[in-house]
Chain A
Amino acid sequence: MSKTLFILGLYMAGLVLAFQRPAFGQDEYEFDLSEIGKEIEKKPYDIGGFFEFRSVLFGLDRDSAFHTLKFFDQDEGATLEQYNFGLRLEGGYQKGIASLYFMTDSRLWYDYEGWDGDIDLMEGYLSLKPGPSFALDAGKEVVLWGKGYAFNPVAFVSRPKDPDDPTEALEGYYVILADLIKSFKGPLKTFAFTPVILPVTESINDDFGKLDHINFAAKLYFLLWDTDLDFLFFTGESRTTRYGFDFARNIKTNFEIHGELAWITNFDQKSIDSQGNLSTEDSDILRFLFGIRYLTTNEMTVIVEYYHNGGGIDEDDAENFFEFVDRAYDTFLDTGDSSQLSKAFRLSQGTLAAVKPMRDYLYFRASWKEPFDILYFTPAVASIVNLTDQSLSITPELLYSPKTNLDLRLRGAFLAGGRNTEYGEKRNDYKIELRVRYFF
């Protein structure tokens, strides 16, 4: 493992050094204004995207519950490797007030299970824009609501972000969306109304909730006294009715605060007993977030967010689950019967395998833009702490763009936590990843 780590580190350092040239003299620049004219010529169509190569090394925690659930009848060793090849293709066509946009992700990967791959339509929609005050979209689109960086409890009509990589693109849902905007003079500068219709059938949005229903959501946005304010709601039969509020404001030019609050009615609150039985109780819950973003004088950006997930499982439920997995594994070892492990695996899918499944989390990220005069180089470190069980992940990252359209990212993720804790029972102890993206 240390050898692979060393080689990855050396590789990244080599790339940084290879592209980071010493300070020599600088010639006068030259440019041709007519050439710029050609570069800015507008075309009705547009296509682009990126190629991606991503290699990942997983350091397994062979004593953890999730390792047991995955590998109880096989030994894959202490580490696993995965090689990913990706192509993102996005494009659009505009004619008059109508435009068409699409984005697809094609992936091919190789890991201990061999080669596999998939192709997803991430977004694809038709948009009508008769003017800046009104737009109407229909198709598959990401409708990301909320102000949080790592978590968005008020994102009622989108898939949850991955807090470990929150800036990655999400897959949209099929929606019809309108956007009405009105500007004013005075303390209320902008008002916007965004209604959304989201149908759920067997053929579209089937993973959103209960099938064969049409759902409605809406967002009211106000820019009032230099503060972004949103009031949001969702109703329909596919999921229970929910209401939300969020805000963001710059207290100083380099200091921003933001928050979100979601009130979810008739939520199926899950709990797990010591026998691995799942029970649900119908109750209204709150999810909320409060965060800050601070920029220091030397261009270090710090983001801190506290997230409360009122629908999450509590510490006792998690402990019951992990102990149930232990007993199920003992049964398997004694009798060869894996049915209890299968039950535990199914149980994990709706509870602990979810994105941040427990109650209280603290997110921290510090990134330093272009330190030591290395242009387009951003080192960062992020951490997510489960405040309920005191387990955590730490993710250091080096992002470098040595050439136009070339992005290199080396990142690790190290998990720490005791027995029966969220991060202590994850399948991996650590993960090291090198990602290369070339945009075109």
Chain B
Amino acid sequence: MIKLLSMILMGLYLAGPAYSDDGNEMLQKVDRNLNPDSFETYRKLINIEPDGSKKEFIMFTVKKGRDQVASVFLSPASEKGRATLRLGDNMWLYIPNVGKPIRITSLQSVTGGIFNNADIMRLDYNAEYNCEKMEQKEGLMVLHLKAKSRSVAYDSLKMWVDNKKLLPNTIECRASSGMLIKTLYFKKVQDFGGGILRPAVVETDSPLHKGYKSIMIFARMKKRDLPDEAFTLNFLPRVESLR
């Protein structure tokens, strides 16, 4: 009887989702190396079209803990003052003059181009993904990440991690069908001061938008601890006052 019970329990264990504790630990380290737990940063987003023409946006962003992110557009003039808030799976967009913030979804894009709202208001990877498998490939560690819930923008990620710096090199984002949605390339590792050493540039392309490219450049990232009230709908129109 005990044998039978043990076999059933073993069977259930093997049938359940496989998680890699080492992989999740590495993912947490990657998250902390990409940014402090709570921080502020400026970002420049550049959408590049196939003919080389560009559209640029500058944003000021604050993040607190695992799942609170607020951003405001500083330029161009047509977008100035637009602000976004993310609390976990909830996202809102505030457009000045229009008034109240409206709910938006992770798959939309407030900037157009290849970065969607989930990329622009990214949470820590370990907040949204579990590592199912890790493997060594061509001098890099490859983490196979699976979304913790269906509300996450990408069903799975394949993350190539620099073993020494514990920073991502490339991330492939896939839909539940396995289709590649986009690839993120992390470039130009830079010392931001305060112990923050991370890629200053994230570039992305997508087989769904051949020839198009979007780039995110980070500047002046630094630790900053803000009260939770800075991450609320009522405060959203005033995010720029945090600069």
Contact = CB atoms under 8 A, between A and B. Distances in A.
Contact of A133 (B52, B56, B151, B227): B227
A346 interface: no
Contacts of B202: none
Interface residues of A, number: 78
A401 B79 CA distance: 12
Interface of A: 21-27, 29, 31, 33, 36-37, 39-40, 42, 48-50, 94, 99, 103, 122, 127, 129, 131-133, 135, 142, 144-147, 149, 158, 167-170, 179, 181-184, 189-190, 192, 194, 221, 223, 226, 228, 248-250, 252-254, 256, 258, 293, 295, 297, 299, 301, 369-370, 373, 375-376, 401, 404-407, 437, 439-440
B136 interface: no
Interface of B: 42, 44, 46-56, 58, 60, 74-78, 80, 87-90, 95, 97-100, 102-103, 105-109, 112-113, 150-151, 153, 190, 200, 209-213, 215, 217, 219-220, 226-235, 238, 241-243
A375 B47 contact: yes
Given A133-B229, A249-B103, 19 more contacts: A21-B50, A25-B50, A27-B52, A29-B46, A31-B44, A36-B58, A37-B220, A39-B75, A40-B58, A48-B77, A169-B98, A221-B233, A226-B89, A250-B105, A252-B151, A253-B107, A369-B109, A375-B49, A440-B77
A184 B229 CA distance: 9
Given A40-B58, A144-B99, A23 B211 contact: yes
A300 to B, nearest CB: 11
A253 B105 contact: yes
Contacts of B76: 404-405, 439
12 contacts: A24-B50, A26-B48, A37-B220, A40-B42, A49-B77, A50-B77, A131-B227, A181-B235, A190-B233, A223-B233, A401-B78, A439-B76
A254 B100 contact: no
A167 B98 contact: yes
A401 B56 CA distance: 13
Contact of B217 (A24, A25, A31, A133): A31
A132 B211 contact: no
Given A24-B50, A33-B200, A250-B105, A183 B77 contact: no
Contacts of A183: 227-229, 231-232
The 3 lowest CB-CB distance pairs between A and B, nearest first, are A144-B99, A183-B228, A169-B97
Given A26-B50, A36-B217, A132 B153 contact: no
Contacts of A33: 190, 200, 217, 219
B3 to A, nearest CB: 45
